[in-house]
Amino acid sequence: MARGVFDFSDRIAKGIPSPSGGRPGGRVRHDFTTAFPDPDSFPADGLLEALGRALKDEGRDLVYYPHPQGHPAMREFIAGKLERERGMKVTPDQIILTTGSGQAVARYVELLTDPGDVIITEKFSYSGTMGIMRRHGARLVGVDMDAEGLLPDALDDTLKGLETRGERAKFIYVIPTFQNPTGADMGLERRRQVLAVAQRHGVPIFEDDCYADLRFGGEPSPSIQSLDEEGSTLYCGSFSKIVAPGMRLGFMAAPPSVIESVKAIHLGATPSQFAALATLYYLRDHLDEHVQELRDIFRAKKDTAVAAVGERMGSRVECSDPDGGLYLWLRLPEGADTAAALPKARERQISYGPGTNFSPGQDAYNYLRLCYGHLTHETIREGIASLAEFFEEEGLLK
């Protein structure tokens, strides 16, 4: 038999996305697609120094497999950070280290979802999470939102509607802080209201808080989890946005019973102890100053991006002006189709996240997300000018 010709096509499990995953490959010059942080802010020297210390102290322990929940001192550090910054009382035993919040999302979804389950999301939500939910056979129901995110009355109506039909939502997935993609930031009162509605209907909340550190304006609110006295909120966070996605470090924080169940499916999947050690030793000494530096960088880039959209696209688009996070959310005139336009935009070296990626019904045709975190001010200005010119030519701004 010839080498390398075995046909796996009838062996690949149902529900696995097609090989391209619908995503065009390769980076282009003006790449606004992904929420990367700023490469110049990567703390290479600080991490190297921290890693040196960590290996002297604990390097010998790397010959052993890590604790199934991840490095104990790292989990202690996370518990302390969550208490100080997010008002949460969780013990290190309630934390599992993951390879980013993406893996935390995958674990929670795997744990909670049976095929056919209804999962509530915001009207627009993070494409990665929705992809995982769809792969588990979930039916996604989006709930209306405003500048503070999920609307409690709309959530109540949706849950009641399901109950009337004899259905119940399995859980509510919410990104309350600098919501992806809209940038919505949920205030304290709204958090209380959303939690109260969820609890009245007996539906747990999964709170994805991976942008909480990246606040450059407005007042911080404690996490929804911190307001929950029933223990019905599952939480995850990430170090991707404050250190780097390449470190692949995030975490889940959940009630002990949930953590025990997650451990059963997480076996052997603990993230690299090497990355955890470098991150822990670095952040123990530099967290506040590093995050402050990032906030200044992202505030300035956000201002540049918002100004460029205003200058180049004017009143024909609605554009968010978020107090944190790494992206803008734009609404073009009705009839525009940003997904259909994307391949041609890429030929012009411009890329963005089309609205369809961020909608539970995959139908937000006239929306798009622009990530500015990793681009220079000049590239942001140039790229938005080229994008406006392109949309103009293609008739998307009419």
Ligand X SMILES: Cc1ncc(COP(=O)(O)O)c(C=O)c1O
Q: Does 128 bind ligand X (CB under 6 A)?
A: yes
Compute the distance between CA of residue 274 and CA of residue 277 in angstroms, rounded to an integer.
5
Going from the C-alpha of 161 to that of each of 115, 133, 190, 206, 240, the distances in angstroms are: 20, 21, 21, 21, 37
> Which of 149, 250, 355, 360 lies at the binding interface for ligand X (CB under 6 A)?
250
Nearer to ligand X, 197 or 247 (CB): 247
Q: Does 35 bind ligand X (CB under 6 A)?
A: yes
Per-residue binding string, ligand X, 171-190, x by CB under 6 A, is ----x----x----------
Residue nearest to ligand X (CB): 100
- Percent helix, strand and coil across the chain, each rounded to 5? 45, 15, 40
Q: Taking contact as CB under 6 A, which single stretch among the options 48-56, 97-105, 108-116, 159-167 is the one that binds ligand X?
A: 97-105
- C-beta atoms surrounding 388 within 10 Å: 20
List the beta strands (DSSP E) in the chain: 30-31, 95-98, 118-122, 139-143, 145-146, 149-150, 169-174, 205-208, 233-238, 250-253, 318-319, 327-331, 350-351, 353-354, 367-371
Q: Does 72 bind ligand X (CB under 6 A)?
A: no
> Which of 33, 69, 94, 101 lies at the binding interface for ligand X (CB under 6 A)?
101
> Which of 37, 66, 92, 102 lies at the binding interface for ligand X (CB under 6 A)?
102
What is the smallest separation between the CB atom of 128 and ligand X, expressed in angstroms?
A: 6
Q: Taking contact as CB under 6 A, which single stretch among the options 9-17, 51-59, 96-104, 351-359 is the one that binds ligand X?
A: 96-104
Supply the DSSP symbol for 246: G
Q: Does 208 bind ligand X (CB under 6 A)?
A: yes
What is the smallest separation between the CB atom of 388 and ligand X, expressed in angstroms?
A: 25
Q: Does 245 bind ligand X (CB under 6 A)?
A: yes
Q: Does 105 bind ligand X (CB under 6 A)?
A: yes
Judge contact between 2 and 323, C-beta under 8 A.
no
Compute the distance between CA of residue 224 and CA of residue 191 in angstroms, rounded to an integer.
6
Interacting residues toward ligand X by CB under 6 A: 35, 100-102, 105, 126, 128, 175, 180, 208, 210, 238, 240, 245, 250
